[in-house]
Structures are given as C-alpha cells and as structure tokens.
C-alpha cells in the first residue's frame, strides 16, 4: 500500500526545493499548486470562477491570476470561495495521479496550506519545511517581485511554524541546502524501516 507523505511549509520556506530532493530519491511528487494552475484552465473551472468572481478577471477568456490573487489574498471569505471551486478538482486529479503511481512505496503531496485546509488528516506522514522568517521574506520578494508588506500579509493568512510543527512527523530546516538534502535521505530511511515493520 502506497504511503502518502504530505510536504508543507510557510511561503518562502523552500518546499519545492525539498520536493525536488524527494524526486531525486525516486519518490513521485505531486505539486498541488502547479496542478491547481492546470486544473484552473479547464472550461468547467473557468465557468465556476466567472460565476463566483465575475468576467472582469478574464482577458480573452484567460484568467488574470494576479487580479484573482489580489482579491483572495486579502479576503478570507473570497479565498474560501476560490478554494471551494479548486480543491475538489485538485483532489480528483490527485486521485487519478495516485492510481498511476500505485506501485510505489511512497509518494509526496506538496502543498502550502496542508494544515489550513484540513487536508493533512488524509496523509500517512507530514513533513514541514521551515526557514528563518527574514530568509523567507527575501526569497518571496525576489521570486514574485512583491513588496515586504505583500509577503507579510500572505504569511498572516497561513499557520505559523510552531502550529505546523506540533502536528508534523518530521521537520526540515531549509537554511542549508546540503543539510536539508541529507535530512530528506534520513527521513526516507526511517520511513522504509517503518514500512518493513508494519
């Protein structure tokens, strides 16, 4: 039976980098945000977004993602409305991906809001990625060309590290890539031993 490892962490913690380390170890990885972007291009989802948020978010039937982000990142109710459209579609997509990887011992599901959405309860193990707040802010400002204030307001919408860590099986501090890479290997060793024992 394939065990699902939920991989999460706050914005800018470097989840995608850690996910790539799991991939290097031969573990299939499902990046929920990337898949959500693909799912949001389906006509069914586009129509639901138009109905809920209006036509003004679309240029020639293409969703203006930054306009949508502005609406949802500053408004919890609007974010919940969007999640109610996107999450069920991503869940369905993940289930079919899981079937394609059913021969594997482990797969990784990487998502930013694993705890906030309650989805963490569906997984066998949870790995939380952490990094100092200043490092995270710098990374996101560079990556998204956002201001410090924009990054901080997005951070406020997410759980803090302490809360995440209290519900996690493993924690990777992603300040030093070499050490973080080794930690991924260690976690897989531990999980393989557990797998044999069960």
Confirm or deny that 14 is annotated as ligand binding: yes
State the burial class of residue 172 (Cβ atoms within 10 Å of its Cβ: 0-12, 13-18, 19+).
buried
Got the DSSP string for 75-137? -HHHHHHHHHHHHHHHHHHHHHHHHHTTT-SEEEEE-TTTTTTTGGGGSSEEEEEE--HHHHH
Are 11 and 137 contacting, i.e. CB atoms less than 8 angstroms apart?
no
C-alpha dihedral sign at 27, 39, 37, 171:
negative
* Backbone phi, psi, residue 4, to 5°: -100, 125
Instruction: Please list, in sequence order, all residues whose beta carbon lies within 8 angstroms of the beta carbon of residue 56, skipping any fewer than 6 positions away.
Output: 67
Confirm or deny that 130 is annotated as ligand binding: no
User: What gap in Å lies between CA 135 and CA 116, rounded to an integer?
Assistant: 22
Confirm or deny that 13 is annotated as ligand binding: yes
The annotation places the binding site for ATP at: 12-17
The annotation places the binding site at: 12-17
């Amino acid at each position: 039976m394939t065990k699902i490892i939920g991989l999460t962490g706050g914005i800018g913690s470097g989840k995608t980098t850690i996910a790539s380390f799991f991939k290097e170890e031969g573990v299939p990885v499902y990046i929920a945000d990337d898949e959500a972007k693909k799912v949001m291009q389906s006509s069914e989802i586009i129509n639901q977004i138009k109905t809920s948020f209006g036509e003004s978010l679309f240029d020639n039937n293409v969703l203006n993602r930054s306009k949508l982000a502005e609406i949802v990142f500053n408004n919890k109710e609007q974010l919940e409305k969007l999640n109610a459209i996107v999450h069920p579609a991503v869940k369905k997509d993940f289930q079919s991906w899981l079937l394609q990887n059913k021969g594997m011992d482990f797969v990784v599901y990487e998502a930013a809001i694993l705890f906030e959405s309650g989805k963490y309860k569906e997984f066998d193990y949870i790995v939380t990625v952490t990094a100092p707040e200043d490092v995270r802010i710098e990374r996101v400002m560079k990556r998204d060309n956002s201001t410090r204030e924009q990054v901080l307001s997005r951070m406020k919408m997410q759980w803090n590290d302490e809360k995440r860590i209290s519900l996690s099986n493993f924690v990777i501090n992603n300040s030093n890539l070499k050490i973080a890479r080794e930690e991924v290997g260690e976690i897989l060793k531990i999980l393989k031993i557990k797998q044999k024992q069960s």
